[in-house]
């Protein structure tokens, strides 16, 4: 007689276990997405120059001389 109750409880316990597994699976997936997004953000910041500007010319251009032309 007590065996009948044990069998029913096992099915309910399995459902609880399955729902817990599903919740953990979803939580892990969201955590992975968040970590990947954060890593991408760090890579973007690391690839930018420290002063925030881009160097579009050489030192010769800044002085007003033409590159490759010797003055003097």
C-alpha 32/C-alpha 40 separation (Å) is: 12
- What is the rounded distance in angstroms from the CA atom of residue 46 to the CA atom of residue 51? 12
62 against 10, higher pLDDT: 10
Q: What is the pLDDT of residue 32?
A: 98
pTM of the model: 0.45
pLDDT of residue 24: 97
> Are the C-beta atoms of 50 and 44 separated by less than 8 Å?
no
State pLDDT tens for residues 3-52: 555 555 577 888 889 999 999 999 999 999 999 999 999 888 877 766 65
The pLDDT score that the predictor gives to residue 11 is: 79
How many whole angstroms separate alpha carbon 69 and alpha carbon 72? 10
């Amino acid at each position: 007689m007590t065996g009948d109750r044990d069998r029913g409880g096992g099915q309910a316990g399995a459902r609880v276990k399955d729902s817990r597994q599903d919740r953990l699976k979803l939580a892990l997936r969201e955590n992975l997405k968040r970590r990947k997004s954060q890593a991408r953000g760090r890579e973007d910041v690391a690839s930018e120059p420290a002063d925030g500007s881009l160097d579009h010319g050489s030192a010769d251009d800044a002085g007003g001389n033409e590159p490759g032309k010797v003055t003097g």
